[in-house]
Amino acid sequence: MVRKPPEEVFRLPEPPPSPLLSEDACQAVVGVLEKYVNIAKGWRHRVFVVQRGVLRYYRADQSLNIHALMESLKEMGEVKVIGLELGILLKRMDRAGSPSDQAITPHGEAHLQVAQIRESKSGDRKRFSVHSGTKKLNCRAESEMDKDAWVEALRQSKAVWDGANGGYLFPPVEVSAESPNSNSGPISRSFEDTTLPAVRQRLVDGGVSHELSHFVEEVLMEQHRFYVNYMWQEGEKKRKLLSYLQTVEEEKRELEARILEENRGALVEMAQSEGAFFTTEEQYENGEERDSADASGEDDVEEVFYEATDSLPLIDKCQNDVAQAQLPPLPSKPKKAERTASAPVGPNDSFPGPSLFGGSSLQKSQRTASDPVQAARERSQQEGASTSTSRGHREYMDSAIAESTARLKDWLRRDGPAPKRRDCLPKPKEKEKTVSLWAIIKSMVGKDLTRVCLPVYFNEPLSAIQRIAEEIEYSELLDEALKHPPGSLMRLFLVSSFAVSGYSATANRTSKPFNPLLGETYEYVSPEKGVRFIGEKVVHHPTVFAMHCEGCGWTVDADAEVKNKFWGASMELHALGVIRLRTADGEEYRWNKVTTSINNLIIGKLYIDHYGVMRVHNKNTGMLAKIKFIETSRFFDSNPHQIKGYIEGPNGKIRDATIQGKWDGSLHVDLGDGRGPKEVWRKNPPAPEPSKYNNTLFCMTLNEMTPGLDKKIAPTDCRRRPDQKCLEEGLYDEANRQKQRLEQKQRAARKAADRGDPIQPRWFEYSPSAAQGQEPTFAYKGGYWESRDAGHFEGCRDIFGE
């Protein structure tokens, strides 16, 4: 335990009295001023006293014995009162009862010898400040006249104690006339340069009597002893302070070393289980860095945007991939109909590339009968083997999309009609308690961090898997994309718009989602949108989520490992992984996530921003959409959340087509055909009854248990998680209890797994051959929807039960 420092080291010394100073130096000036405390408390009344070159202030409450203070000041000399507030304070104290018996102790003080008095430049003529070097006192008087009186009193007191005659504590004495009893010339010396025998000799030479000379010697000796003792006390105080600081520093180093050694593993576990408030050195070194374009220093934003990228696959490699795919050959075209890479491309025209079908990555990916898009693709390829014209290819591609869409819609129709979904969250059943993050951190000191559970007050009633499911809100963009020919610019732009739209729900969303338990799942079925989604937490350390979503003629697969960097006042989140879109007509798109930052963690308004470059790559044609998320200025930005993008061909040539807008507003596409920009996406309107979590209308439906859904979803579904459900209903105490219970249950399961009972993902499996960062490393292995139809989820662990 750190020892408390000696109290005397914090007590400023009182300048000693001197008979050589004027009587004004002993006069006390007292009054009431407003003093600025901090942002939370603002301005507070304080009783200020100026005496002997020291400005002291006291709390203006019952802890101050104001009558005793005034009496002590009057005993030392004249007291000057500034303003009427002191009289009001005295009357209020009288009405409150007998004065406090506590000692008269100032709350703070400042030496005017080393201070500067400055008038405010803010325009408030009643304000002034006192700078002592170690602190700054911002004061405000009741009137401009009172302010002027205070400033004058402070400057007069400072002038007396500052040595207005040259900076000496004893004013120098100059004798310009010759002494009548001395043959010496003009004398100019100070007391500080004069010894006592020399003073005695001067007094004798001046004809001063022996008694008077002896009296002067006694006064000088008394002053000398006083100042020697004063300086010795100051030196002793500094020695104690240095000794204390050295001891504190040594104890601090020992404490840090002990905590680091004992709780190293616990810190990492808590950081990952509680949303990664901290980061390890390994995460910091391996985390994704900002895109080099962010620091390119270009004068024009557009130039920053068109930075160099990695080399695209060579043409001959793509041709080899096509040969390996064993797909029907494309018909040859007349030379007059051929395009060159530099020829203009229309919104519905295909970009010249190796093939409209996948490359080697299609062979690496797992193909299962549970993937309707994959099955439709294979059947379409087999049925269309005899096609010999481009029109025929397009027809069987359209038939593949139609068949995939029909299969999904048939399943949705058998599952039941679309339920009536809510447009607001339930009303809280309890009043939410006011909590302080600093109080929580303070309460954790000395505790086993593996047993610490952060309260739910910082959470929103959604899990991280449900936050991933939010990104399918605008799935109609993918439906619209499939209406355009494969390889067309418009299809690529619509896919890119879908990738950007997933960030729109994050605006003003500063609450933390629940960290799912290992094996926790979430399904979302929407007959209205024609999609079904399944996600699962597949790895606990590091945290990895996997998802699989099926739509009308397309599937989206992804897994993501979230790494973070904590910068003190802000935090950066990096989603390491790739999102893959496959269409029933054989195309494949992949894109990455950009960096997310959470700013003003310590002070100021908390806000979320996204920055970096998103690359949406068509693996079939080689076309690349590069979309720049422009970082919002931390000081002033009149147009935040901007994105700008362009198309890059397989040969690296930049096309005229562009995309721009705001990730939380709308996106516009210009195909470079002279028609100008066209709006392709706009954020949905907010909920009619906004929640305190700033949820979107779609988000409010994610945790809803619609009628009959309880009998369909898996026992590991997020909707069954008790602490999350209690938070949604406003049962905060029960939510905290359930959260702590679930975390203890998960720790026990992990210990059992370490002893030889490993926990495997239920609906996804790891693909060792997958290239990390280029394709999802966890593939959906199927069986979920079949188990749902059968009403029996075999192999699901009990992760929420008592």
Q: Which residues contact 543 (CB under 8 A, 6 or more apart)?
A: 272, 276, 464, 515, 537, 561, 562
The model's pLDDT over 747-796, given as tens digits with 9 standing for 90+, comes to 888 888 878 778 889 999 998 877 777 788 899 999 999 999 999 999 89
The model's pLDDT over 195-223, given as tens digits with 9 standing for 90+, comes to 777 787 888 888 888 788 888 888 888 87
Question: Is 383 within a domain?
Answer: yes
User: For the domain that residue 94 is a member of, what is the CATH number?
Assistant: 2.30.29.30
Q: Which residues contact 513 (CB under 8 A, 6 or more apart)?
A: 275, 459, 460, 462, 463, 464, 466, 467
DSSP line for 239-252: HHHHHHHHHHHHHH
Domain extent for 566? 347-441+462-683+693-790
Q: What is the DSSP letter of 707?
A: T
Question: Is 583 within a domain?
Answer: yes
Q: What does the alpha-carbon distance between residue 155 and residue 187 come to, in Å, rounded to a whole number?
A: 32
Q: What does the alpha-carbon distance between residue 413 and residue 530 come to, in Å, rounded to a whole number?
A: 10
pLDDT averaged over the chain?
A: 76
Question: Is 590 within a domain?
Answer: yes
Q: What's the whole-number mean pLDDT along residues 613-641?
A: 88
Q: Contact 653/341 with Cβ under 8 angstroms?
A: yes
Residue finishing a domain among 115, 132, 161 = 161
Whether omega for the bond prior to residue 640 falls within 30 degrees of 0, making it cis, is no
- pLDDT at position 731 is 94
Cβ atoms < 10 Å from Cβ of 771 = 11
How would residue 351 be classed by pLDDT, with cut points 50, 70 and 90? Answer: very low
Q: What does the alpha-carbon distance between residue 750 and residue 742 come to, in Å, rounded to a whole number?
A: 12
Question: Is 277 within a domain?
Answer: no
Residue finishing a domain among 161, 186, 210 = 161
Ordered alpha helix ranges (H), 178-314: 196-205, 210-273, 281-286, 301-305
- Residue predicted with more confidence, 338 or 695: 695
User: For the domain that residue 615 is a member of, what is the CATH number?
Assistant: 2.40.160.120
* 434 has pLDDT over 60: yes
The model's pLDDT over 487-520, given as tens digits with 9 standing for 90+, comes to 999 999 999 999 999 999 998 898 889 999 999 9
Question: Is 769 within a domain?
Answer: yes
Question: Is 6 within a domain?
Answer: no
- pLDDT at position 294 is 38
Q: What does the alpha-carbon distance between residue 624 and residue 431 come to, in Å, rounded to a whole number?
A: 51
Please count the structural domains in the chain: 2
The model's pLDDT over 77-86, given as tens digits with 9 standing for 90+, comes to 788 888 888 8
Question: Is 466 within a domain?
Answer: yes
| CA distances in angstroms from 282 to 274, 279, 479, 564, listed in the order given | 18, 8, 41, 11
Range with lowest mean pLDDT among 104-113, 323-332, 649-658: 323-332
Range with lowest mean pLDDT among 78-87, 293-302, 541-550: 293-302
How would residue 552 be classed by pLDDT, with cut points 50, 70 and 90? Answer: very high
- Decide: helix, strand or coil at residue 326: coil
How would residue 173 be classed by pLDDT, with cut points 50, 70 and 90? Answer: very low
Q: What does the alpha-carbon distance between residue 264 and residue 784 come to, in Å, rounded to a whole number?
A: 39
Question: Is 338 within a domain?
Answer: no
- pLDDT at position 190 is 46
Residue finishing a domain among 161, 181, 198 = 161
